[in-house]
Amino acid sequence: MPLLRLDNISLSYGYLPLLAHVQFQIEAGERVCLVGRNGTGKTTLFHVITGDAVAEAGEVWANEGLRVAHLEQDVPPDNEQTVFQVVASGLGELGRLLFEYHQATQQAAAAEPASLEALANLDARIESLGGWNLNQKVETVLTRLSLPPDKPMEACSGGVRRQVMLAKALVGEPDLLLLDEPTNHIDISTIIWLERFLLSYRGALMFITHDRSFLRHLATRIVELDRGTLTSYPGEFDTYLRKKDELMAVEERAAAKFDRKLAEEEAWIRRGVKARRTRNEGRVQALQQMRREHSQRLDSQGRASFGIDAGALSGKLVADLRRVSFAYENELVVREMSTRILRGDRVGIIGPNGSGKTTLLKLILGEIRPTSGEVVMGTRLQLAYFDQHRRILDPERTVRENLSDSDYVTVQGRSRHVIGYLKDFLFPAQRIDSPVKALSGGERNRLLLARIFTQPANMMVLDEPTNDLDVDTLELLEDLLADYRGTLLLVSHDRTFLDNIVTSTLVYEGAGSFVEYAGGYSDWVRFQELGRASRAKTPSRDPVAAIAARAHRPVKNNGKLSYKEKRELEALPARIEALEIEQSELQLRTAQADFYQQPGAGITSALERLEALGNELEECYARWQSLESQLSARGN
């Protein structure tokens, strides 16, 4: 039996139907990803499920007692509640009691009789409701998401508030969990934790996301909302993409055949009054029906179509950071940072929320002065800056007014009408006079891209550009950036986007330290795994400690091992240790972003030495095991 079912649901806003006779159901244990273009009604569908929106027709059926939790797409506004209070509210009435107990424990520190009595009463009440296990869940979720329980929400950043609302949705372990863009504004480590949590989650999950790595790891079924219709694709994301392409091809062929037939009938009707004779009346009526079908047909939205003007070339040097440090009051944000960014570099910046990624961007751009060190900027720089908070958009003004004060914009050296230009970013003519505050998050991001792409830029700084964008627009942006001839700085938590775009990464490694690595996110992960493997102490691969322990005990001379073999055994620990140190240092060098910028001979020599070290270590391990076996077998 399904947990929830939608029967023939219809709902329209404005001139287009968002939901048209939708049929849908979800079973226990399913992990369903809802996909579709920005503005097609995905969030509205969630609101119908939760009851926050009422359908014009149809019925929502749910199991009796079904518990549903919903993470909204938007960041919550300021309020005076603490983080603990908001998260505990996900448990309903019991959550309120737990918060009161949390407050009472702080007041009881004064050992006042009234406070101690209140604490005892709350303890008994929570005990009777079996609430202490739930209190542990609140504290566990707060710890996992690194949330400060007593901090007021109004003092939290947008990213932290987003995590608080995520914790609220998770803590009650509902039967059906609805997540609307859960990876927005959270860092990669939290995204990975969330993936692991949801993979072990026993309830049903329905989520909206643009994060392709997140989608691929979680979804057991893809459901697409397109032109008001819901279509289900069992299986993984790549299967959905293949089947979607096949269905689109069939739809395009059917539409082309229909249009050809309609054109033939229109030509026939125009040939004269003979077409209106009684014997042709049926054909005339069929033509009228075809006209009605054509006028009611909802064509696919198509793909966004835009370009980037890289402008004139900048100087070869874009930015040179020399032992740069920056601190807010006594808090060190960036420590001893040295790097050189050259024309054409594509640099990704990775780190947890609050680690100083935006501060590092401002240092590179010269917007703030370092506490110590020096930043040397290049010449002839034309900058385009995508701000994740979209501050340059005025929510009270219309889409058209945010783009231009006139009806025309200049794009790549030629004048274009605002309506035509915005159509390239999937804004229909009816939408351009809507206020920005009425747009979805993805539509606002598309508008911001439309605005910054009106100006030539040989340097682009993109701070979380992927939030809320649909997958099709995201892939188009990837294609454009892949062909972009300028310099790119990218802050993102989207692992696939980083892998497809950047050639090097600056990774926050704690205490204000950013370290540069070659490649994208996956390359950095592989290097970390390689480093952990080389440090792991296993008998088969890293017997240095065991060798040292055995080598320092007296070797009995009973003639079974020659003097030379005993000396060889005693020398092996130091030999292996020296080889491993050299190997680790060389692996670190080859992972640096500037390693492949040196002459080819140096690259070849280093890689050949790295291979030789691996072979030599294998020989040392094998020789040690052989000598130790002889020693054990002969009783030495």
* Amino acid, single-letter form, for residue 209: T
Can you give the pLDDT at residue 636?
A: 45
Rounded mean pLDDT of 318-333?
89
H-helix or E-strand containing 196?
A: helix 188-199
Q: When comparing pLDDT for 5 and 283, which is higher?
A: 5
CA–CA distance, 270 with 266 (Å, rounded to integer): 6
Q: What is the pLDDT of residues 253-262, one digit of tens each?
A: 777 777 787 7
Q: Tell me 172's DSSP state.
A: T
Q: Report the distance separating Cα 472 and Cα 492, nearest Å.
A: 18
Contact 59, 133 (CB under 8 A): no
Which residue did the predictor score with more confidence, 436 or 625?
A: 436
Are residues 496 and 570 located together in one domain of the fold? no
Lowest mean pLDDT among 257-261, 403-407, 418-422, 557-561: 557-561
Lowest mean pLDDT among 84-88, 368-372, 431-435, 555-559: 555-559
Instruction: Single out the residue of 19, 21, 18, 24 nearest to residue 6, CA to CA.
Output: 24
Query: Do the domain assignments include residue 449?
Result: yes
Which pair of tokens denotes residue 395?
A: 């929510």
Q: Report the distance separating Cα 70 and Cα 178, nearest Å.
A: 5
Same domain for 566 and 513: no
Q: In angstroms, what CA-CA distances link 191 with 43, 166, 180, 201?
A: 21, 11, 14, 15
Region 497-507: what's the mean pLDDT?
Answer: 91
Q: Confidence class of residue 374 from pLDDT cuts 50, 70 and 90?
A: very high
Q: For the packed helices 237-269 and 281-296, what is the interaxial angle rounded to 10 degrees?
A: 140
Per-residue three-class SS string for 107-125: HHHHCCHHHHHHHHHHHHH
Q: Is residue 336 part of a domain?
A: yes
- When mean pLDDT is compared across 304-313, 400-409, 423-432, the lowest value belongs to 304-313
- Claim to verify: residue 515 and residue 583 sit in the same structural domain: no
- 98 and 191 part of one domain: yes
> What residue type is 152 in one-letter code?
P
Residue 548: the pLDDT is 44
pLDDT, tens digit, for every residue of 187-230? 888 888 888 888 888 889 999 998 889 999 999 999 999 888 88
How far apart CA 357 and CA 372 sit, in angstroms, is: 18
Verify that 606 and 514 share a domain, yes or no: no
Number of Cβ atoms within 10 Å of the Cβ of 428: 13
pLDDT of residue 545 exceeding 60 = no
Question: What SS3 state is found at 467?
Answer: coil
> Over 50: is that where the pLDDT of 466 sits?
yes
pLDDT tens track for 148-160: 888 888 888 767 8
Residue holding tokens 């439309």? 450
Q: 225, 240, 255: which is the final residue of a domain?
A: 240
Tell me which of 481, 500, 522 is where a domain ends.
522
* pLDDT over 60 (residue 514): yes
Amino acid at 576: I
Assess whether pLDDT exceeds 50 at residue 559: no
Q: How many domains does the chain have?
A: 3
Q: Is residue 301 domain-resident?
A: no
Token pair 């893809």: residue: 222
Express as a percent the part of the chain with pLDDT over 70: 79
pLDDT digits (tens, 9 = 90+) for 583-618: 877 777 776 656 666 676 777 788 778 878 878 887
How big is the chain by its Cα radius of gyration, in Å? 32
Task: Give the pLDDT confidence of 334-360 residue by residue, as tens digits.
Answer: 999 999 999 999 999 998 887 888 889
Residues 394-404: b if buried by 16+ CB within 10 A, e if exposed: eeeeebbebbb
Q: Residues 543, 466: one domain?
A: no
- The answer to whether position 312 is within a domain reads no
Contacts by 335-342 with C-beta closer than 8 Å and gap 24+? 335/511, 335/512, 335/513, 336/373, 336/513, 337/363, 337/373, 337/513, 337/514, 338/373, 339/506, 339/514, 339/516, 339/593, 340/594, 341/317, 341/487, 341/489, 342/316, 342/317, 342/318, 342/487
The predicted structure's pLDDT at residue 557: 44
Q: What is the DSSP letter of 435?
A: B
Phi, psi of 150 (to 5 degrees): -100, 5
Is the pLDDT assigned to residue 49 strictly greater than 80? yes
Of 61-75, 95-109, 498-512, the poorest mean pLDDT is in 95-109
Q: In angstroms, rounded to a whole number, what is the distance separating the alpha carbons of residues 145 and 278?
A: 76
pLDDT at 14: 62
Q: In 510-562, which ranges are continuous DSSP H helix?
A: 521-535, 544-551
Q: Model pTM greater than 0.75?
A: no
Task: Enter the tokens of residue 591.
Answer: 């992972």
What pLDDT, on the 0 to 100 scale, is given for residue 350? 92
Are 402 and 502 part of one and the same domain?
A: yes
- Report whether 87 contacts 65 (CB < 8 A): no
- Same structural domain, 514 and 540: no
Q: Which two tokens stand for residue 338?
A: 């040295």
Residue where a domain terminates, one of 218, 240, 262: 240
Work out the mean pLDDT of the chain and round it to a whole number.
79
Q: Domain of 136: which CATH number?
A: 3.40.50.300
Note the pLDDT of residue 167.
87
The Cα–Cα gap between 537 and 338 comes to 33
User: Does 300 reside within a domain?
Assistant: no
Any domain includes 276? no
Asked if 353 and 526 touch (Cβ cutoff 8 Å), the reply is no
Q: Mean pLDDT, to the nearest integer, of 498-518?
A: 90
**pLDDT for 47:** 92
pLDDT band at 555 (very low <50, low <70, confident <90, very high): very low
The DSSP bridge partners found for residue 346 are: 488
The answer on pLDDT for 18 being more than 50 is yes
Partnered with residue 177 across adjacent β-strands are: 69, 205
Question: At residue 291, does pLDDT exceed 80?
Answer: no
CATH of the domain at 588: 1.10.287.380
Eight-class DSSP state of 150: T
Note whether 486 and 556 are same-domain residues. no
Range of the domain at 65: 4-240
**Would you say residue 285 lies in a domain?**
no
Q: Do 135 and 219 belong together in one domain?
A: yes
Whether residues 187 and 219 share a domain: the answer is yes
Same domain for 9 and 110? yes
Burial degree of 124 (CB within 10 A; 0-12, 13-18, 19+): exposed
Is residue 263, in this structure, part of any structural domain at all?
no
Cα 125 to chain centroid distance, Å, stands at: 42
pLDDT at 440: 75
